[in-house]
Structure 1
Amino acid sequence: MPSLHPLLSGFAPIWALTGVGYLVARAKLLGPQAETVLNRFVFHVAMPAALFLMISRTPLDRFANTSMLAFAAGTAVATGLGLLAGRLLFHRKAGELAIGSMASGYVNSANLGIPVTMQVIGDASFVAPVVLFQILLVTPAVLAVLDSGAAGRRALLTLPMRNPILLATALGAVVSAAGLHLPTEVNRSAELLGGAGVPTALIALGMSLHNRPPAEGRSHRAETALTVGIKTLVQPLVALAVAGPVLHLSSHQLLTVVLFSALPTAQNVYTYAREYGQGSGLARDAVLWSTLASMATLSVISWSLGPA
């Protein structure tokens, strides 16, 4: 039976780097535009490098497994509920709806998925299909909505060429499908750039806590609470219902799917929100509060579904 302490070890770097970002902003070490610059570095340089390298090294047939059906079902329901809540309850516009739906169902698959699943079940192989699913299907759909609002009359067909995230994803998929092996120098350069993405995004997230408005309205707090509830409770429950009664997955597969579905909102969502100026407050708070809440939900899941 896994203890709480191993799970906490996966969260410690997230809180530490977010705290560093808060202190940096509080001390005004990097100037008033630092948060914007760091987010743009992540979006335009570090994240594309990391995504290209990850996808180019992953066989695309990793999509094809039964467990992904349960994970996809949980994601679809969670993002759909986030979309409906934003439209019907909070009257958000298209870009904000895209961010709200993403915050409701886009999991922190690699940064937390790897350490958590290694601690609980000793196997992080499910990371690859989850990452591919989110990057190749969920991310393009959200960015298409965000970019259509920002681009005005620019054609949607040119979106992959104008968006570094989608361009890197497409190039990585081509390299993977063709079975190409990149030169060592290219791989190493991409590793160095990509490795800067997560810590920089977390520091920028921490800086946003210091730069946030002095008071958030009741509507914002309600929307954040609903988003976090959908992410940390609804999404894993739907995955559990599909993985168990519908697909009859093994106990190991069931635990893996539900654990991944219960992971908190990825910090990528805040990076996208800041880049497009849409729903950044909701994205920021969804990342923070879902990360905090998931420490409890992941512990309950590992206790109830984990091996004795």
Structure 2
Amino acid sequence: MPSLHPLLSGFAPIWALTAVGYLLGRSGLLGEQAEQVLNRFVFHAAMPAALFLMIARTPLDRFANPSMAAFTAGTAVAGGLGLLASQRLFGRGVPERAVGGMASGYVNSANLGIPVAVQVLGDASFVGPVVLFQILVVTPVVLTVLDSRRAGLRAALTLPLRNPILLAVALGAVLSATGWRAPAELNRSCELLGGAAVPTALVALGLSLCHRPAVGVASRYAEVGVAVLAKTVVQPLAAYAVGAFVLHLSDHQLLTVVLFSALPTAQNVFVYAREYGHGAALARDAVLASTLVSMATLSVVGWALGPS
């Protein structure tokens, strides 16, 4: 079983930067609009820069393998469960269902997946395919749903030209597919801007904790509980079932798939929900709660499936 300290070290920056945001919010130093401004900066500038570079530098065929098939199956099961629960149990509208599904199945593959994979697996090569799948498949679907409900179907058809996230992904995919290389100056600028995406999103997440609604607490906690259960338990179990009994993955492949499936909800979900004004409280609480729970579930995965 991997030692607890190295795993905890991967979570420490998340809690630290979220705490910084909370303290800044409580102090009022950044003003009442700080959370909104920071989220818009992440959504319209920092995150597009980071995603553009990530996709442009990753071969698109990397997610076409049996391990990704098992991961995709786990994502579909967990996301579908979250979406169905949002509709049937909590009576949410279409945008909130999309956020509920994303909160239940969208993993924190980069800033948590990398340190956890290095500690447990010895390498982080599976990060690339997971990032590609989530950015090229899951994100466009969810953002299209959110945008179409806000602006109408006609506007949704032009979404890739108007949404900075999808535009950055499309441009990155073109560079990756064609083998073109962006100028070094552009790469460096995107690296600097993209490097601000994760820390700024976490600070904004902390700021949002200062504005927790006082109504519907029991219902909200139940909804968050379902999302966290789907994310940290159902998704890795579904990935394990498909990987072990359908695809017959090797022990190392199975460990890799289940480990990544057990990662907590990514803060990207909160950024998207906050930008479109749907399900932000659910996304925020799911990110925080799943991150806490996953410290235990990731250790269990490493112990159960790792080398004896």
TM-score, normalised via structure 2 length: 0.98
Partner of 2:182: 182
Partner of 1:121: 121
CA deviation map 1:206-263 (0-9, x unaligned): 0111122245421111111111000000000000001111111111111000000000
- Structure-2 separation of matches of 1:283 and 1:155: 25
The runs of 5 or more residues in structure 1 that have no matched partner are none
SS of equivalent to 1:286: helix
- Structure-1 separation of matches of 2:77 and 2:214: 33
Deviates more, 1:210-219 or 1:58-67: 210-219
In 2, are the aligned partners of 1:25 and 1:211 still within 8 Å (CA)?
no
Partner of 1:103: 103
Map 1:71-220 onto structure 2 (within 5 A).
71-152=71-152, 154-220=154-220
CA RMSD of aligned residues (A): 0.9
Partner of 2:58: 58
Map 1:240-255 onto structure 2 (within 5 A).
240-255=240-255
Partner of 1:266: 266
Specify the code of the residue in structure 2 equivalent to 1:129: P
Specify the code of the residue in structure 1 equivalent to 2:292: L
SS of equivalent to 1:141: helix
- How far is 1:268 from its partner? 0.2
- Structure-2 separation of matches of 1:121 and 1:152: 45
In 2, are the aligned partners of 1:255 and 1:302 still within 8 Å (CA)?
yes
- Structure-2 separation of matches of 1:64 and 1:239: 16
TM-score, normalised via structure 1 length: 0.98
Percent of pairs with identical residues: 74
SS of equivalent to 1:22: helix
Deviates more, 1:170-179 or 1:212-221: 212-221
- Structure-2 separation of matches of 1:157 and 1:151: 10
- Structure-2 separation of matches of 1:119 and 1:250: 19
The runs of 5 or more residues in structure 2 that have no matched partner are none
- How far is 1:4 from its partner? 1.0
